[in-house]
Amino acid sequence: MNFKRNYIQSFYANEFHSEENPKTLDIFSPHDGSVLAKLEITSTSTLDKIVAQAKTAQEKWASLTFKKRSEVIYKYRELVIRYKQELAHLIHIDNGKTLKEAVAEVEKVVELTEFACSIPQLVSGETQMVSRGIIAREERRPVGVFGIIAPFNFPLMVPNWSIPNAIALGNAVILKGSELCGLSASFMADLWKQAGLPSGIFNLVNGQSEIANAMINHPEIDGITFVGSTEIAKLVHKNASNLNKRVLALGGAKNHIFVLKDAPIETASSEVLAAALGMAGQRCMAASVALVVGQNEEFIQALIEKARKFKLDFDLPPLVSKASVDKLVTYLNWAKEQGAKILVNGITDFLIPENKKEGFWFGPTIIDWSEIPEKMGSQEVFGPILEIIRTKNLSEAIKIQQKSPYGNAASVYTQSGRAAEEIIAKVKPGMLGVNIGVPVPREPFSFGGTRSSKFGYGDITGKSSINFWTNLIKVTTKWNPEDKQDWMS
> The CATH number of the domain where 192 resides is what?
3.40.605.10
* 402 in a structural domain: yes
pLDDT given at position 483: 58
Co-location of 44 and 119 in the same domain: yes
Q: Are residues 126 and 171 in the same domain?
A: yes
- Choose the catalytic residue: 197, 284, 410, 432: 284
SS3 per-residue string spanning the chain: CCCCCCEECEEECCEEECCCCCCEEEEECCCCCCEEEEEECCCHHHHHHHHHHHHHHHHHHHCCCHHHHHHHHHHHHHHHHHCHHHHHHHHHHHHCCCHHHHHHHHHHHHHHHHHHHCHHHCCCCCEEEEECCEEEEEEEEECCEEEEECCCCCCCHHHHHHHHHHHHCCCEEEEECCCCCCHHHHHHHHHHHHCCCCCCCEEEECCCHHHHHHHHHCCCCCEEEEECCHHHHHHHHHHHHHCCCEEEEECCCCEEEEECCCCCHHHHHHHHHHHHHHHHHCCCCCEEEEEEECCCHHHHHHHHHHHHCCCECCCECCCCCHHHHHHHHHHHHHHHHCCCEEEECCCCCCCCCHHHCCCCCCCCEEEEECCCCHHHHHCCCCCCEEEEEEECCHHHHHHHHHCCCEECEEEEECCCHHHHHHHHHHCCCCEEEECCCCCCCCCCCCCCCEECCEEECCCCCCHHHHHHHEEEEEEEEECCCCCCCCCCC
Whether 246 and 306 share a structural domain: no
**Residue 221 in domain:** yes
Domain that holds residue 273: 255-434
228 in any annotated domain: yes
Sign of CA dihedral 125, 129, 131, 135: positive
For residues 337, 343, 347, 353, the Cα torsion angle rounded to the nearest 10 degrees is 180
Tell me, yes or no, whether 368 and 224 share the same domain: no
Tell me the residue type at 470: T
Closest to 434 (Cα-Cα) out of 262, 251, 254, 279: 262
CA distance 418 to 468: 36
Sign (positive or negative) of CA dihedral 329, 331, 334, 336: negative
**pLDDT score recorded for residue 487:** 56
What is the Cα 53 distance to its own chain's centre?
27
Residue-by-residue pLDDT tens, the chain, 489 positions: 666 689 999 999 999 999 999 999 999 999 999 999 999 999 999 999 999 999 999 999 999 999 999 999 999 999 999 999 999 999 999 999 999 999 999 999 999 999 999 999 999 888 999 988 899 999 999 999 999 999 999 999 999 999 999 999 999 999 999 999 999 999 999 999 999 999 999 999 999 999 999 999 999 999 999 999 999 999 999 999 999 999 999 999 999 999 999 999 999 999 999 999 999 999 999 999 999 999 999 999 999 999 999 999 999 999 999 999 999 999 999 999 999 999 999 999 999 988 899 999 999 999 999 989 888 888 999 999 999 999 999 999 999 999 999 999 999 999 999 999 999 999 999 999 999 999 999 999 999 999 999 999 789 999 999 999 999 999 999 987 665 666 555
CA distances from 396 to 258, 292, 376, 393, 399 (A): 11, 11, 17, 6, 5
pTM: 0.94
Tell me, what's the pLDDT at 480?
A: 76
284 belongs to the catalytic site: yes
| Residue 221, Cβ density class (10 Å: 0-12 exposed, 13-18 middle, ≥19 buried) | buried
CA distance 94 to 85: 14
Q: Do 67 and 137 belong to one domain?
A: yes
Do residues 235 and 217 both lie within one domain?
A: yes
C-beta separation of 302 from 269 below 8 A = yes
What's the pLDDT at 450? 95
Task: Say whether both 427 and 459 belong to one domain.
Answer: no
Asked if residue 457 is part of any domain, the answer here is yes
Same-domain check for residues 247 and 262:
no
pLDDT at 374: 83
Residue 483 included in any domain: no
Both 306 and 283 in one domain: the answer is: yes
In-domain check, residue 313: yes
Contact 140, 120 (CB under 8 A): no
Give the pLDDT of residue 419. 98
Answer yes or no: is 481 within a domain: no
Same domain, 224 and 314: no
Residues 40 and 139 both lie in one domain: yes
Could you tell me which of 175, 161, 192, 178 has the C-alpha nearest to residue 95? 178
d(CA 419, CA 260): 9
The per-residue pLDDT for 375 is 85
Give the CA angle between residues 25, 27, 33 to the nearest 5°: 130
Same domain, 142 and 162: yes
Rounded Cα–Cα distance for residues 152 and 96 (Å): 10
Number of domains in the chain: 2
Cis upstream peptide for 444 (omega within 30°): yes
Instruction: Return the CATH number at 317.
Output: 3.40.309.10
Q: Does 19 map to a domain?
A: yes
CB 322 within 8 A of CB 360: yes
